[in-house]
A and B are shown apart, each in its own frame.
Chain A
Amino acid sequence: MLFNSLGFIVFLAVVIALFYLVPHKFRWIPLLIASYYFYISWNINLIVLIGATTIISYTTGILIEYSKSKKVRLACLLFSIISSLGVLFFFKYFNFFAQSVVEFVRLFGVPVSDFSLNILLPVGISFYTFQTLSYTIDVYRGSIKAEKHFGYYALFVSYFPQLVAGPIERPDNLLPQLKQNSKFSSDNMKIGLQYVLVGFIKKVVVADMLAMYVNSIFDNMENANGLTVIIATLLFAVQILCDFDGYTNIAIGVAKMMNIDLMKNFNNPYSALSIKDFWSRWHISLSSWFRDYVYIPLGGNRVGKFRHLFNLFLTFLLSGLWHGASWTFIIWGALHGIYQIIGQLTAAPKKKLYAKMNINTESNQWKALKNVITVILVCFAWIFFRANTVGDAFVLIGTIFTGWGFSLTFISDSFEKLGMTAFMFVYIIALLILLTQLGKIFIDKKDKFVYEDQSTSTRIVRKVLYVILGFIVALSWIYVVSQLGYVNEFIYFQF
């Protein structure tokens, strides 16, 4: 069931009504049933997978807490990690690795036939696997107590707003909130609806619209020239942010309607001044997960310089692999790892150089330059992320440097290849302007934005604006569905 489908709107209304009608003690029951219904609406067989993952992590969590023997605790932890990662590996990576081995063997002239299993990638498996792993590891570290109530634990694993594409929640944040006695709060309902509206604007109005132009280049290589590749890459950078952040906003909003605060996943990533800064703003729940459960256990930066750089690289490589079983994602992760290493190695010399050259690194111009460089590096890596194959990515990159024409019709031909008319060009500019202004009109009391004039007049104008934005979402949805012939999935569902 997609967030941007009509079925979900009905489902959500029923769940919210049940949530507040059922006494607090039993609320986990309708929520758990709703979460499982939400999940198996993709494929009923998925219930076995999420059920098994839940039972294993729940049981090992209890055993770790009650066992006095260090060896037993460690064995339980390893069993939980290996079984969770084993399931993830089998369903997500087996065919990829098998095919990679086959191709590697063929390099030596050994005739080997293709080998793959007919496995369907379960939706959201990477997200809930990481969530259960953080639970088991935290129980082992003693930073949280094992959850005794199986119902609440199963709900923690399967909570539908964030089940299929995060944010990857931590048990110490989500579990206590699932248990709290929530009373209906009109403020939270209002904030939740605002988040949902913003999420739909980002996904339906912006991301889905841009997807049509991005696909016209990345899925039709014959349309690629220097200009179209650059435009498509920039549009993809906006598309993936709006797609994923849109999902996150909807998830946060839906949870907020039940008085539950999910963690923030994005913080203006394209305003980053360095790649390191970018990763503190992009997919925060995943980057913090890798930091806490991979990078720091590897030694983080409290080791020798070489080991530190290795830790950084490995963490980003694994982050790339997490995104998908494809060399494109691995290269994308590796590129970010290399960016980080170069950033670390050049930090001190750059500082000295700037001091020598009397460059004011606090000036707005300097920050703008750093931001532009960061965005270019990020966009370069996005080419690998979006390309269908590594070969395609290299062809597209090559085209950026070679595919330019000097005739007067080059620009108009390029826009024709993108399928973009003059009207649509202006339309997209308007979309991007709206996108940059969204933060000004939505209040989130928790984040304590203070941009708002609270006068009656402004509040009513804001409501009028919400109605207009609601129309924009509804009509854009109709337009996109009529153009594509189907409801567009969220990009991160495939991970």
Chain B
Amino acid sequence: MTENLFATSIPIYVVLAIAIGLILITIEIHINTKGVLAVIGGLAVIAGICLCFVAGVPIIEIVFMLLISAIFIIAIMSLKGKNKKIKDVEKIVTDFQDILSGENNHEDGKKSLTITLDDTDENIVIIDGDKTDITAETGVIVSVGSAMGDIVIADVVIITNDINQDNDNININCDKLSDTNSSITTENIEISQNNIIACDARSEVEDVI
């Protein structure tokens, strides 16, 4: 641990090439040049790596530079692309209650609910009943909100077996939703009493909850 941390054999021009590449990628993410700067930036990073080989830099140091580059790119992507959240939870709750009471059916008799994602902070949890391993212990939780995979207290909890996502829209087919039950609890999901909970009628889903 006493050695100089920065005693690497990476030439300065390699560091410059990679830095320029990363700056170009950052600009791309912020001003969107349809990928042009991203490609040039990526090429600059790769050119830097090739120069490392020419300069005889040890592999582990090359990997380290790539790691830092990857972490940097992920960080700027994360800053740009905020997690999508659910818009207007109260309206969703009302729509959902209408659907369950049969007041909001489509003309063809089908029931569905489309939720649009936005940047608000409300929390909704959708549990995909299509997963064959949905149980209290292994249920795959599809959480649109801030608490994916954690113990969740959500404003709306929907347990369904038919959901589709198309970019910002989550469409929930409610044909099989038949019951509301405010006492549903599982090992992984804690649901407060005031939540709207809809559960489809499939017995195997009800059994394990």
Contact = CB atoms under 8 A, between A and B. Distances in A.
B83 A450 contact: yes
B149 A458 contact: no
A90 interface: no
B56 to A, nearest CB: 14
Interface residues of A, number: 67
Contacts of B183: none
Given A457-B28, A467-B42, A475 B33 contact: no
B2 A412 contact: yes
B67 interface: yes
Interface in A88-129: none
Contact of B77 (A441, A448, A475): A441
B150 interface: yes
A308 interface: no
Contacts of A411: 1
Interface in B120-149: 128, 132-133, 135-138, 140, 142, 144, 149
Given A468-B70, A469-B70, A451 B138 contact: no
A294 B111 CA distance: 41
B48 to A, nearest CB: 11
Interface in A273-290: 273, 276-277, 279-280, 284, 287-288
Nearest to B150: A271
A24 interface: no
Chain B binding site: helix, strand, loop or mixed by DSSP?
Answer: mixed
Nearest to A427: B64
Interface in A413-427: 415-416, 420-427
A461 interface: yes
B49 interface: yes
A437 interface: yes
B84 interface: yes
Interface of B: 1-5, 8, 25, 28-29, 32-35, 38-39, 41-42, 45-46, 49, 59-64, 66-71, 73-75, 77-78, 80-81, 83-84, 117, 128, 132-133, 135-138, 140, 142, 144, 149-151, 153, 163, 165, 167, 170, 187-188
Interface of A: 170, 172-173, 205, 263-264, 267-268, 271, 273, 276-277, 279-280, 284, 287-288, 291, 362, 367, 411-412, 415-416, 420-427, 430-431, 433-434, 437, 440-441, 445, 447-448, 450-462, 464-465, 467-469, 471-472, 475-476, 478-479, 482
5 cross-chain pairs, A with B, having the tightest CB-CB distances, nearest first: A460-B35, A453-B81, A464-B42, A280-B137, A457-B32
